[in-house]
Structure 1
Amino acid sequence: MALVRIVGDDLVVVMEGLDKLWAFKGRLTIPLANVRGVTADPGITAEPKGIRAPGSHVPGVITAGTFHQEGDKVFWDVRDPSKAVVVELADERYVRLVLQVDDPRATVALVENALA
């Protein structure tokens, strides 16, 4: 699971527990100016992921790490699709973050309020 916080002018994502190991990352910091939007999207886990490098993917168990799809990089950290949120980015290493959070609605509201 990921913790999503707003710290100053940044969106900070912290991977918890073993997710750090599976995702090969412990933390991401993204300037809010580069966040285009955020949505709760449990259906995204059914979409193609691309090529994993580096990361972990066990269908139905976990998708975590960097995935390359059609020339773009997408960061994943999801075990429970019902708690997935998607953060769309511009001018960043990743074009999208797909994260499992404790409360998708609260996370979407947090990010949208920071962008307003």
Structure 2
Amino acid sequence: MASLRVHQDRLEIHLTSAEKVLSLRRDDIVVPRDDIRSVTITDDPWIWIRGIRAPGAFVPLTLAVGTWKFHGGKDFIVVKNKRPSVIIDIDGGEFARVVVSTNHAVELIGSLKITESDAVTG
């Protein structure tokens, strides 16, 4: 599972070797904290996937890893099974949104210092 690391100026999403292979990506994802617009916690990440996979891997309700392109841009998805996930909306940058399965969603929001009005639980 991808690990999320919060730094003072950025959020790093470190992909495992398997996730890099499945997503056809060499680098980890780095999001400047100033570009994070909102963070949402969800128990059903599958309803948040939009667009078409290009490139990446997809097994319905089991695994989604890679880039999904939609009319307004691109999202990066790392979703496994029905694990809780965070949806990070981003202004500018490579992706419009990042959806990542994590068991530490509440701690992530706390460490990003997102206010309750910015964090939506769904």
TM-score between both structures, scaled by the size of structure 1: 0.85
Counterpart code for 2:6: I
Task: Give the alignment's Cα RMSD to 1 decimal.
Answer: 1.8
CA distance in 2, matches of 1:89, 1:64: 18
Counterpart code for 1:22: L
Q: Which residue in the other structure is 1:21 paired with?
A: 21
Q: Give the paired residue count.
A: 113
Distance 1:47 1:33, change over 3 A: closer
Shift of 1:48: 4.7
Q: Which residue in the other structure is 2:65 paired with?
A: 64
Structure 1 residue matching 2:113: 3-state secondary structure: helix
CA distance in 1, matches of 2:73, 2:52: 10
Contact 2:83-2:103 within 8 A present in 1 as well: no
TM-score between both structures, scaled by the size of structure 2: 0.81
CA distance in 1, matches of 2:66, 2:19: 9
CA distance in 2, matches of 1:21, 1:83: 23
Gaps of 5+ in 2: 115-122
Gaps of 5+ in 1: none
More helix by share: 1
**In the TM superposition, what are the counterparts of 1:86-101 in structure 2 within 5 Å?**
86-101=87-102
Percent identical: 24
Q: Which residue in the other structure is 1:54 paired with?
A: 55
